[in-house]
Chain A
Amino acid sequence: MTPRPINRRAALKGLGSISIALPLLEEWCFPALGSSSETSSAAIPVRSFNLFFGLGIPAPLQEEGFDGVLEPLKPLRDKLLIMRHVDQVRCDQSGINAHFDGASGAFTATPPQGEAKAGGASIDQLILRHHYPQGQPAGVAGTVVAGTFFRRSRVSRYVHSYRPDGTVAATMMERPRDLFDRIFGQVGQVSGQDAQQQHLKRSVLDSVVEQYKYYTGGRSPLGTSSRSKVADHLDRIREFEQRAFTLHADQADGPGRPKPSELLHGGLADPGGEGIDITLDALTTEWRLMADLYATAIQMDRVRFGALTFLAAGERIRLSGDYTYMGQKRYTFEDSRKLNASGSQGCSHEWWHQFNEKKDNEALRAHAHMKMRELAYFMQQLDGPDCVEANDKTILENMLLTISTESGDGRHNDVKRELSGVFHAITGANGRFKTGQIADLKSEGLDVYNTMLRGMGVKARLGPTDRESHEVASILA
């Protein structure tokens, strides 16, 4: 069964009764405290998101352009710069694993520092810190990280936004309901209280904020890393403060939260790396709800920075179901049967191991094509007529969306090729970068990312400070 496309608002309103009242849009249009002058003057906020998909696209298949697995991106080609021949070999050190380290390298261009730490900041976080040095405007949530994924043995398989110290920028929201609560849910339990009670609760929060401010300030006894950690906590408290005391959703129309997820989550979703059985319908239904929620959050200017993941690095699922595209059945997923194996050996992951550029690679192509279809679905939610902003461009065109993945080649006879030619694509970021092209960059990911940072006006750079950088000017508009 092909999942029926979900209209964003219909989805939100249709899932019972959602408490995102449109008047909120007005409430959320606060003066942009702490926002950059660039943001204020252009009236288009600086936004940056990382969109990750698992298992990658082998470089030879990328060469086919929109005639191959990239076909679903074709309707968006004018809004995208497809970047081929981007090498993450810096992350491909001897004896490390592309699924883990390659995934950590996506958006950071550095190998990880530990099981739950990247080698440094991800692009979005440097842009955030540069453009919003005093924090994001009131009403905007902090960094939001969400995704639909199952493999979770290491954090960098699925989290794709990292602070400069390499720690995760935000807690992963892996259920639509979690994401909904994170963005739109009521917090603080103050709505039922009388004015006096609310006033007193507010004084409690004021006191708490003061304490956090002290311990992130100049007289704090804490060191650099600790202060940064407490500062993050303070950001979350400020958001809580906004949500609890300033933003009041209209409960009358009442729609509720999304239904509980029917997919496996937590430890159950990754039973010892053995993989899980899942239908295409179940997978894409949950992903699209997640994509809808995330896109709506962006559209309502509730989120400006973060990451979204569609399937983890080294994902292990045994997918089943008919795959259609543009009304035509393209393939029938039957991983376990076609691989003639159960457990981890029956997972779609195996098609990547079996990739041979001299063969058809039909199953891999179908999986990769499906992933592109789903990424395109998310992007389309930000590219419709209701997403046009003051400069007559859509949100998709105005924001920086960086798409990447874990491994590039899939061929297993040369270590250095595994992370060579890692698929990348970016949007124009309000005219900062070229779009409408497929560019063969033949550059290191670190140089590409640092050029992107320069294009975004960010002074900070990724990677070693003493390294000679090579600007990839061809991506700049």
Chain B
Amino acid sequence: MSRWRSSYIGLATISLWLLVGGGLLGAKADRAEEGLLALYNFCEPSGPIIQDISGVPPSLPLRIELMQRVQREGSQIKVTGDTRIKSLALSEELVQVIKQANAFSIEAWITPGLKQQKGPARIVTLSRNGSERCFTLGQDGDAFDVRCRSTQTNANGIPSLGSKDFSIRPELTHVIYTRSPEGQLKLYLNGALNHQGHDEGTLQAWKTNVQLGLANESDGNRAWKGTYHLVALFGRALNEQEVAAHYQAGSQALDTSVAPLLVRSPEARFFDQEVAPILANHCLECHDSFHTKGGLDLSKQASAMKGSKHEAVILPGDPEGSVLWESVWHDDMPEDRPALSLEQKQVLKRWIEQGATWGLDPIDPVLFVHGHQNQENWVRRLTREEYVQTIGTTFQIDIRRQAMDILPTDARADGFSNTAYNLTVDLQHVDAYAELASIIVQKLDIKAFAGRFSKQIKFTDNDMGALIQSMGKWILRGPVQEHELFALRGITTGVAATGGSYEQAIGLVIEAMLQSPRFLYRFESQQGDGTRWPLEPHALANRVSYLLWGSSPDAALVQAAEEGLLYDSDRLKGEVTRMLEDSRAIGRSEAFLIDWLNLNRLNQLSPSAEYFPHWSPQLAKAMQEETIAFFRHLVWEQKRPLHELFNARFTFLNQALANHYQIQVQEELPLIGLQKTELTADSRRGGLLTHGSVLSIGGDEASMVARGLFMLHEVLRGVIQDPPPCVDVTPVPTGSGLSQRVIATKRIENKSCGGCHSKFEPLAFAMEQFDGLGRYQRQDRHGNLLREDGALHIPGDSTQQPYATSLELLDFIANHPRAQATLTWKIIQFAMGRPLTAEDAPAVEAIHQASMEAGGTWASLMTALITHPWFTTIQTEQPQ
């Protein structure tokens, strides 16, 4: 018996405060808790997982096999058809505890669906199959029947203890069965003793290869139909007073029903999905917090409702009286821009008519770039890097060289190369996957590998089937389905029929698995009722593992998933902490960095030889390595908050890079490899924005447009629309008296251009003294003096922030909530493989806040993200 479970048994508290999902829900009930082993109140809003809310580790969550035969109705589930509801893992701990106590109690608040059910139909069962059990509470005809295996019964728990006839009616019923250490058996219905008996035997006959189940036998064929309100198991016999108290407490005593996760009001959703995009894309260019044209700021609820400097523009319930709708209806607004479509006008009218309910506040235009469609359910193909890492984890084989050579490059979309919708597959992929599978199998010691999963080297159905299931679960990152087993068995029987060897058969099976969708894609069950459902255990493990490592789960994480431990917030945190200690976590974070800053761009950098005669590919390589080494040191060795990436006063240099940057160092730096170098104020440098790898984004001419847009998009999560088709976007060349700043200032002062350019070009002013490859200079090649002062506008702010030096700007950015939050957003976009939308905003903001409160480090962000319900659930789709 485990010590931790026994310690819980010793606790005796009458008031129960439930901790669910890491939050204190505070459902107080006059119920006994002593000896509580498992407790189900069926209050999950949706999905196939039924949480064990006992708080007693290990948690024993149940899974509904066929959701279409179960209806969730508030704090109850109604089983309407034949399905199985079973614990995710074997219930070994439960068995051990009860065996040691030689006593237990089963409690169920149920409403039988039929007066007569046969089998007995399983209501609550701890069993292996139809003839091997520990106990079963069932309905046999119109009576309850409890089978409990002991040393005096057979394996099926017979003789059983039944209730009096006609005791079952299709109404809310409270049933408790208790067995005392002395073998006293009692069956209570609705608080009163109904029947009792005695068993001379002990529970030492119980086996541990059983699963806790509801509504059916573990292997099916004994379905029970009815409604569950509450089910509890205790490792002791409840006494009569406790039984009566539980009955008096009622079936709702432990109701922890909450609003479904992450669901917003219909009115707020309408605003977020229909109204806000119109305001963001057509109105905020002039009427945001910064450009309050006419005194009107439509980006915030309060200011929008207040109106312009002349009048209210939105009168809830009265569109005809609302200037906002009137002006768009008559095409007076947007001024000098295409009129809204009829559909858009009708949306605004309907919104005002229905009371002008606001949603996300303030409106952040970046949330509406990608519309409001559900973008979550794009199955994610493994990227090249993930493929390599997954092969490494699965087989301990390094396939990097071959994979990078054969597999097509993953194209970038929306700022990252792992954007799911863009991870397409062509013939070249299929060919490459087949070839790589063959190479991997050739590299593999098949016998040794298969030996990890089975010692039975036989072609027989049972042995080969067991091997495929066991090995397949590891390779395919989840249980092998029956149809997959059949398909894979076809290969082995084919080999056997042609006289092939066992190793040959296994090798071909592995080849097939490596080309299967289950391996090449990260599958998550996406079918449901249209609400968010908890991820299946293996899917959750995969999501965690690919986020932290960019690879498949290790054995420990798989085991935790199979035991249902990942549904326990503390255990999940523990797994995150453990996995962050692994070097793969560093690699994954660096993969984010490389993708975010597009550092691979430097591989193609070919600056003008006229302007940059000393440039070399080695210098570009050093710039890449500088940024990666800086990140690794700050994030992983110093474990500093992520926002210090923007202003930390050190970097990593070799001598060539130091010379390029014109940084004086005390001692000669290495020619190969980089060395940490503290930066002084003289260098004007600090943080990755002053790295050559980032500054070179501006091209040969150190374009303020390119640098400003980079800052706006990647650092401040701002949105700027592309220039209209009429605009000549060819960069204006610098010249004498015409520095980049002068050119930028002219654009900003231009009536047509300034509205947008004022939002991003000033972000680059502080970097004017760094040339196209990041060299510090006081004047450009035309002799124009360069400056580092300026004033910038942060998206969402109402004012500009002046700064005198580049370092001052970097400090300002590092400490600005927008920049700090942007890092979180970028990392989460990378984690989820898709751009984030307004639907995601509340959860992402909550994750960011939780991370910041925990230090704002990579580890705190990973923990906050992984333990948030938004991450552990999936938006399901209703079957078409």
B727 at the interface (CB under 8 A from A): yes
Contacts A199-B494, A226-B378, A415-B725 given; does A344 touch B426 at CB 8 Å: no
Q: Mark B739-761, 1 if CB is under 8 A from A, else 0.
A: 00000000000000000100000
Q: Are B428 and A221 in contact (CB under 8 A)?
A: no
Q: Are B428 and A181 in contact (CB under 8 A)?
A: yes
Inter-chain contacts of A220 with B (CB < 8 A): 527
A75 at the interface (CB under 8 A from B): no
- CA of A201 to CA of B508 in the docked complex: distance in angstroms? 8
- CA of A441 to CA of B86 in the docked complex: distance in angstroms? 65
- CA of A117 to CA of B422 in the docked complex: distance in angstroms? 8
Min distance, Cβ A86 to any Cβ of chain B, angstroms: 16
Q: Are A199 and B431 in contact (CB under 8 A)?
A: no
A223 at the interface (CB under 8 A from B): yes
Contact of B422 among A116, A221, A223, A344 (CB under 8 A): A116
- CA of A165 to CA of B409 in the docked complex: distance in angstroms? 22
In the complex, what residue of chain B is closest to A217 when comparing beta carbons? B483
Min distance, Cβ B754 to any Cβ of chain A, angstroms: 14
Q: Are A211 and B606 in contact (CB under 8 A)?
A: no
In the complex, what residue of chain B is closest to A167 when comparing beta carbons? B421
Min distance, Cβ A199 to any Cβ of chain B, angstroms: 7
- CA of A466 to CA of B484 in the docked complex: distance in angstroms? 43
In the complex, what residue of chain A is closest to B376 when comparing beta carbons? A223
Sort A-B residue pairs by CB-CB distance and give the 3 closest, nearest first.
Answer: A95-B721, A418-B725, A116-B413
In the complex, what residue of chain A is closest to B488 when comparing beta carbons? A207
A230 at the interface (CB under 8 A from B): yes
Q: Are B413 and A204 in contact (CB under 8 A)?
A: no
Contacts A200-B491, A230-B379 given; does A95 touch B723 at CB 8 Å: yes
B786 at the interface (CB under 8 A from A): no
> In chain A, residues 241-280, which have Cβ atoms closer than 8 Å to a Cβ of chain B?
243-244, 266-268, 271-274
Q: Are B427 and A223 in contact (CB under 8 A)?
A: no
Q: Are A210 and B487 in contact (CB under 8 A)?
A: yes
Contact of B604 among A101, A212, A237, A267 (CB under 8 A): A267
- CA of A181 to CA of B408 in the docked complex: distance in angstroms? 13
Residues of B within 8 A of A (CB): 281-282, 285, 334, 337-338, 343, 369-371, 377-379, 381, 408-409, 411-415, 419, 421-422, 424-431, 434-435, 438, 481, 483-484, 487-488, 490-491, 494-495, 498, 500, 504, 508, 511-512, 515-518, 520-521, 523-527, 600-601, 603-606, 608, 699-701, 706, 721-728, 730-731, 733, 756, 835, 876-877, 880
In the complex, what residue of chain B is closest to A418 when comparing beta carbons? B725
Contact of A240 among B431, B524, B706 (CB under 8 A): B431
A215 at the interface (CB under 8 A from B): yes
Contact of A96 among B521, B706, B721 (CB under 8 A): B721
Min distance, Cβ B704 to any Cβ of chain A, angstroms: 15
Contact of A94 among B337, B431, B727, B730 (CB under 8 A): B337
Q: Are A206 and B427 in contact (CB under 8 A)?
A: no
Q: Are A240 and B730 in contact (CB under 8 A)?
A: no
- CA of A113 to CA of B371 in the docked complex: distance in angstroms? 8
- CA of A173 to CA of B632 in the docked complex: distance in angstroms? 37
Q: Are A415 and B724 in contact (CB under 8 A)?
A: yes
In the complex, what residue of chain A is closest to B539 when comparing beta carbons? A221
Q: Are A271 and B604 in contact (CB under 8 A)?
A: yes
- Number of A interface residues at 8 Å Cβ cutoff, please give it: 87
In the complex, what residue of chain B is closest to A97 when comparing beta carbons? B722
- From A2-10, A182-190, A317-325, give the one contacting chain B: A182-190
Inter-chain contacts of B408 with A (CB < 8 A): 171
In the complex, what residue of chain B is closest to A145 when comparing beta carbons? B426
In the complex, what residue of chain B is closest to A227 when comparing beta carbons? B379
A141 at the interface (CB under 8 A from B): yes
In the complex, what residue of chain A is closest to B377 when comparing beta carbons? A223
Apart from A200-B495, A207-B490, what 20 extra A-B contacts exist at CB < 8 Å?
A92-B338, A97-B724, A114-B370, A116-B411, A141-B427, A155-B413, A207-B516, A211-B516, A211-B518, A221-B527, A223-B876, A226-B379, A230-B517, A233-B425, A233-B430, A240-B427, A240-B434, A273-B699, A274-B700, A345-B730
In the complex, what residue of chain B is closest to A349 when comparing beta carbons? B730
- CA of A100 to CA of B413 in the docked complex: distance in angstroms? 14
- From A32-40, A63-71, A364-372, A406-414, give the one contacting chain B: A406-414
- CA of A204 to CA of B608 in the docked complex: distance in angstroms? 52
Inter-chain contacts of A272 with B (CB < 8 A): 601, 605, 699, 706
Q: Are A267 and B526 in contact (CB under 8 A)?
A: no
Q: Are B700 and A267 in contact (CB under 8 A)?
A: no
Min distance, Cβ A382 to any Cβ of chain B, angstroms: 23
Q: Are A167 and B379 in contact (CB under 8 A)?
A: no
Q: Are B282 and A407 in contact (CB under 8 A)?
A: no
Q: Are A200 and B427 in contact (CB under 8 A)?
A: no
Inter-chain contacts of A206 with B (CB < 8 A): 487, 490
Q: Are B419 and A116 in contact (CB under 8 A)?
A: yes
Inter-chain contacts of A437 with B (CB < 8 A): none
Inter-chain contacts of B434 with A (CB < 8 A): 187-189, 205, 240, 244
Min distance, Cβ A365 to any Cβ of chain B, angstroms: 19
In the complex, what residue of chain B is closest to A408 when comparing beta carbons? B725
Contacts A222-B526, A226-B377 given; does A203 touch B424 at CB 8 Å: no
Q: Are A95 and B516 in contact (CB under 8 A)?
A: no
Min distance, Cβ A169 to any Cβ of chain B, angstroms: 9
Min distance, Cβ A451 to any Cβ of chain B, angstroms: 22
Q: Are A113 and B370 in contact (CB under 8 A)?
A: yes
Q: Are A155 and B523 in contact (CB under 8 A)?
A: no
Q: Are A189 and B438 in contact (CB under 8 A)?
A: yes
Inter-chain contacts of B835 with A (CB < 8 A): 114
15 contacts between A and B (CB under 8 A): A94-B281, A97-B722, A102-B725, A114-B369, A116-B421, A117-B421, A187-B427, A187-B434, A205-B515, A210-B487, A212-B517, A224-B377, A224-B880, A230-B517, A353-B730
Contact of A268 among B282, B369, B604 (CB under 8 A): B604
Inter-chain contacts of A46 with B (CB < 8 A): none
- CA of A210 to CA of B491 in the docked complex: distance in angstroms? 12
Inter-chain contacts of B727 with A (CB < 8 A): 412
- CA of A188 to CA of B601 in the docked complex: distance in angstroms? 33
Q: Are B517 and A221 in contact (CB under 8 A)?
A: no
Inter-chain contacts of B334 with A (CB < 8 A): 94
Q: Are B421 and A345 in contact (CB under 8 A)?
A: no
A416 at the interface (CB under 8 A from B): yes
Inter-chain contacts of A203 with B (CB < 8 A): 490-491, 494, 508
Contacts A207-B488, A266-B604 given; does A412 touch B428 at CB 8 Å: no
Q: Are B730 and A344 in contact (CB under 8 A)?
A: yes
Contact of B517 among A215, A225, A415 (CB under 8 A): A215
Min distance, Cβ B445 to any Cβ of chain A, angstroms: 20
- CA of A220 to CA of B880 in the docked complex: distance in angstroms? 12
A329 at the interface (CB under 8 A from B): no
Inter-chain contacts of B527 with A (CB < 8 A): 220-223
Inter-chain contacts of B600 with A (CB < 8 A): 267
Q: Are B517 and A233 in contact (CB under 8 A)?
A: yes
A170 at the interface (CB under 8 A from B): yes
Inter-chain contacts of A281 with B (CB < 8 A): none
Min distance, Cβ B365 to any Cβ of chain A, angstroms: 11
Q: Are A236 and B487 in contact (CB under 8 A)?
A: no
In the complex, what residue of chain A is closest to B499 when comparing beta carbons? A196
Contacts A196-B498, A215-B517 given; does A96 touch B526 at CB 8 Å: no
Contacts A223-B877, A226-B379 given; does A211 touch B521 at CB 8 Å: no
Inter-chain contacts of B488 with A (CB < 8 A): 207
In the complex, what residue of chain B is closest to A142 when comparing beta carbons? B427
Min distance, Cβ B598 to any Cβ of chain A, angstroms: 10
- CA of A341 to CA of B731 in the docked complex: distance in angstroms? 11
Inter-chain contacts of A236 with B (CB < 8 A): 425-427, 429-430
Q: Are B604 and A223 in contact (CB under 8 A)?
A: no
Contact of B427 among A100, A155, A239, A466 (CB under 8 A): A239
Q: Are B483 and A418 in contact (CB under 8 A)?
A: no
- CA of A236 to CA of B433 in the docked complex: distance in angstroms? 12
Contacts A182-B426, A208-B515, A274-B699 given; does A222 touch B726 at CB 8 Å: no
Q: Are B484 and A211 in contact (CB under 8 A)?
A: yes
Inter-chain contacts of A415 with B (CB < 8 A): 338, 724-726
Inter-chain contacts of A94 with B (CB < 8 A): 281-282, 334, 337-338, 721, 724
Q: Are B604 and A232 in contact (CB under 8 A)?
A: no
